[in-house]
């Protein structure tokens, strides 16, 4: 009888040890899962950059161009002075253009500056990019933008320096909706060479729908029978 009891105790002890070993093995297998995948401390920089780029908001606006000039409207008496200076420079540029065309017809190399904008028409709150050629390398070129129609107005001039090839690049910011429907003129005049070039552009906008006659409350949908007011440049 005693032998039988002793045998049962030995079998029970062996079972307990086996259960303990099995439990320890299961715990060791579960630890990596509970901790999750570990990333090395020296993770590649490109993976960090990728994560940072994914955090950027979708459709984020790009920064304005370097050195962009914000339009600053002038008032009397300086407004008339700058307006007259710009228009007289534009007339000079037109005369120079005609002379250059005549020189080309006669086989001579024309000495002409040019000024162009990247678009012919711009919506409000956008940048007008100007490019100019034919100026003296390194000279200061004076830029003026004026409104020709419907309300003559002038804006603060600014200077840009021509590169080693006599080219200029600059930009001007259309600051509000006040210029919708306006015809604008830009002139560029070399302060050393005296060469002048000009170009014109317009400030248009896609018509928008408003619920009040003052066009201050914009809406996309209206009830049946509502009076709807339009605002925009309908000639563009």
For residue 110, the model assigns a pLDDT of 59
When pLDDT is cut at 50, 70 and 90, the band that residue 52 belongs to is very low
pTM for this predicted structure? 0.60
| Domain extents in the chain | 69-205, 207-236
pLDDT at 177: 79
Please compute the mean of the pLDDT values over residues 40-55 and round it to a whole number: 36
What confidence tens digit (pLDDT) does each residue in 139-164 have?
A: 999 999 999 988 999 999 999 999 99
Q: How far apart are CA 94 and CA 116, in angstroms?
A: 14
CATH number at 69-205: 2.60.40.1930
Does position 221 have pLDDT exceeding 60, yes or no?
yes
Place of tokens 């086996």: 18
Give the tokens for residue 71. 């339009």
| Average pLDDT of span 32-44 | 39
Q: Tokens 């711009």 sit at which residue?
A: 122
Query: What are the tens digits of pLDDT across the range 83-104?
Result: 999 999 999 888 877 877 776 6
Residue 100 near residue 112 (C-beta atoms within 8 A): yes
Q: Give dist(CA 130, CA 143) in Å, integer.
A: 10
Looking up tokens 């120079």, which residue turns up?
A: 96
Model pLDDT, residue 4: 45
The conformation of residue 150, written as its DSSP 8-state character, comes to S
| Rounded Cα gap, residues 89 and 112, in angstroms | 14
Beta-carbon count within 10 A of 210 CB: 17
- Predicted confidence at residue 37, as pLDDT, reads 39
Query: Residue 183: phi, psi to the nearest 5?
Result: -100, 125
**Max mean pLDDT range (52-66, 112-126, 153-167):** 153-167
CA distances to 16, 157, 227 from 127, rounded to whole Å, are 81, 16, 34
């Amino acid at each position: 009888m005693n032998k039988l009891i002793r045998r049962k105790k030995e079998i029970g002890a062996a079972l307990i040890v086996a259960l303990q070993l099995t439990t320890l093995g299961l715990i060791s297998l579960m630890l990596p899962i509970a901790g999750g995948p570990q990333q090395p401390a020296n993770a590649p920089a490109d993976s960090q950059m990728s994560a940072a780029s994914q955090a950027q908001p979708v459709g984020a606006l790009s920064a304005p161009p370097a050195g962009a000039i914000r339009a600053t409207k002038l008032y009397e008496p300086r407004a008339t002075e700058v307006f007259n200076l710009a228009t007289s420079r534009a007339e000079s540029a037109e005369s120079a253009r005609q002379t250059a065309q005549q020189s080309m017809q006669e086989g001579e190399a024309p000495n002409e500056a040019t000024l162009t904008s990247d678009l012919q028409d711009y919506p409000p709150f956008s940048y007008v990019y100007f490019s100019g050629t034919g100026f003296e390398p390194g000279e200061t070129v004076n830029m003026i933008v004026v409104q020709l129609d419907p309300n003559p107005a002038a804006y603060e001039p600014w200077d840009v320096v021509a590169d080693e090839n006599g080219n200029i690049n600059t930009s001007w910011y259309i600051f509000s909706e006040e210029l919708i429907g306006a015809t604008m003129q830009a002139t560029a005049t070399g302060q050393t060479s005296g060469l002048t070039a000009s170009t014109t552009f317009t400030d248009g906008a896609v018509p928008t729908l408003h619920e009040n006659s003052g066009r201050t409350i914009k809406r996309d949908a209206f009830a049946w029978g509502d009076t709807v007011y339009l605002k925009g440049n309908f000639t563009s």
